[in-house]
A and B are shown apart, each in its own frame.
Chain A
Amino acid sequence: MAPDLWKSLCGGMLIGAGAATLLLLNGKIAGISGILENAVKGMLGAKAWRVAFLLGLALPAAVLGLGTIDFAASLPVLAASGLLVGFGTRLGSGCTSGHGVCGLANLSPRSLLATTIFMGVAVVTVFLVRHGALLWHS
């Protein structure tokens, strides 16, 4: 296996270890959109562990640096994307971490449906953005 794939796999295992740690030691689910929403909007008392988790999340990147980052979208598209991500993840009660990692690990058919939908729709969106012009001209 290429070193690249090993990094992807080990990174994933670390993500799983983080989710397992939060579940076994805090009794909470590592759904980042929900944690962020409650950290922003929630009552002060319920915020502490959420703020701690989010600080920890950003800490490795803050210390080690992000590496090469290439934003694909323009600022207006990023704003629209953010709005859809914020609105959609709360309406659907989960994002890549909550449904995609924790939900699937919890063997939840509900999360499997959510993950199938958001991955499928994202694939179609990327196809239309990158290759949609080909369809238009053919």
Chain B
Amino acid sequence: MAFVTALVAGILFGLGLLLSRMCDPQRVLAFLDVTGHWNPALAFTMGGAVLVATPAFLFARRRRVDLFGQIVALPDRFRFDRRLIGGSALFGIGWGLSGICPGPGLLLLTGGSVQSWVFVSGVVAGFYLLGLVPASSTDGASGDARLAGKPR
């Protein structure tokens, strides 16, 4: 059952990335290029996504279980640390260089281009690279531990 519902969720998400053209690197770069020929379209995508997802999150945070009664572990909402700031900054550089973030990267793989495989291989290599950095130098745990704790 979890397999089927996750598949459906993925299909909806993937359809959205396709319809909004979020999977086109040039379109993403046009959104990020605020001083050039700025294309604000992806702000509508972001807004639409947050608008639809917000009631679901409000429901889950209040109930603390999903519709099947399984416990939902929502991430901490008030933890600000060096990992968050440094990681987000590095991600921003990577995203700005190519116009591709993880979801669109996976969509692009279906086209079979060398470019998409090079990008996604880089992403996976980045996951392993982080594992080589001692946790003490980035203060805090990684993996599923970041999702632990009571939702605030």
Contact = CB atoms under 8 A, between A and B. Distances in A.
12 contacts: A11-B19, A13-B51, A26-B6, A50-B6, A60-B15, A61-B108, A66-B23, A82-B98, A84-B91, A86-B126, A88-B94, A90-B87
B49 interface: yes
A29 B75 CA distance: 9
Interface size class of A (residues with CB under 8 A): 35 or more
Contacts of B146: 93
Contacts, number: 478
A104 to B, nearest CB: 5
Interface of A: 4-5, 7-30, 32-33, 36-38, 40-41, 48-50, 52-62, 64, 66-73, 75, 77-97, 99-111, 113-115, 117-127, 129-131
A118 to B, nearest CB: 4
Interface size class of B (residues with CB under 8 A): 35 or more
Contacts of B68: 25, 27
B50 A56 contact: no
B22 to A, nearest CB: 7
A110 B22 CA distance: 24
Interface in B46-77: 46-61, 65-68, 70-77
